[in-house]
Amino acid sequence: MASSSSDRRAAVDKIRRDAKRSDQRQGRVILTVAVMIALLIVGGAAFKPVKDWWDLRSLNGVQLADIGAKASVCGPRSFKAAQGDQKHVDPGTFVDYSAEPSPPAFGEHELYPDTIRRKLYTEKDRPRVEMLVHNLEHGYTILWYDDTIAKDGKQMDDLRGIAEKFQGTDDFRLKIKLVPWLKADGKPFPAGQHVAITHWAKKVADEDEKIAKAAKVTAEAGVWEYCSAVSGDALKKFMTAYPYFNSPEPSAA
């Protein structure tokens, strides 16, 4: 009888030990899976910044004019007499720019511009168009890119490379924004064109006087240059012709 009772206790103890080992194995499996999931999440989040950094290494020593295509991918600049200087609307107010070429280069705008700190934006974090028009009033050059560029990894690398050339906040020569132009924003760019460079000029550059006069523009003007691809060469020439101080309010950040 004692032996039978001892055997039962031994059997129960064995069951308990087996159950404990099973629980421990299950716990280790769960922990391993959790760690793997966490590593995948962290790794996924880190992958794009690391890839962007790796892709940009080849542009570190490249001059602005050598990034992307040559200026020949861009057409002639176009002009329209500007208006809207000091005409502010409350933040969040919609402004209809459909009467002007897309994207806008002047017009009524939000009370506050975006800061100089950020250069390149995507669809997810771009400031409102009305805010960006205020940046134009303060001398910024804005390079707008469409969905074709946004889906092109190489050209987005070129935009990131261009943005790196303008890092900083204490020099107004760094007044530039590289932003997407979305279908919801308004009319698309002209056929075959995927980049638009814009500036709100106080005065048309000497090199463009003949073209501007043909468009009956002699003073304050919106300036557009459309390109079929990203071109650091064209951007450099554009910003040389239309620097930040050639604008309605160049002294404001």
| 3-state secondary structure (DSSP) of residue 48 | helix
Please check whether residue 104 is in contact with residue 129, taking contact to mean a CB–CB distance below 8 angstroms: yes
d(CA 132, CA 113): 6
For strands 78-81 and 109-110, give the pairing: unpaired
> What is the reported pLDDT for 23?
67
> What is the reported pLDDT for 59?
64
User: pLDDT tens digits for 74-99?
Assistant: 999 999 999 999 999 999 999 999 99
| 3-state secondary structure (DSSP) of residue 88 | strand
The whole model's pTM is what?
0.78
d(CA 138, CA 201): 10
Q: Give the mean pLDDT of the chain.
A: 89
Closest by CA position to 242, among listed 202, 185, 193: 202
User: pLDDT tens digits for 135-179?
Assistant: 999 999 999 999 999 999 999 999 999 999 999 999 999 999 999
d(CA 139, CA 71): 22
> What is the reported pLDDT for 48?
47
d(CA 221, CA 136): 11
d(CA 81, CA 96): 17
> What is the reported pLDDT for 1?
52
User: pLDDT tens digits for 13-52?
Assistant: 677 776 677 667 776 767 776 767 766 665 555 454 545 4
> What is the reported pLDDT for 53?
44
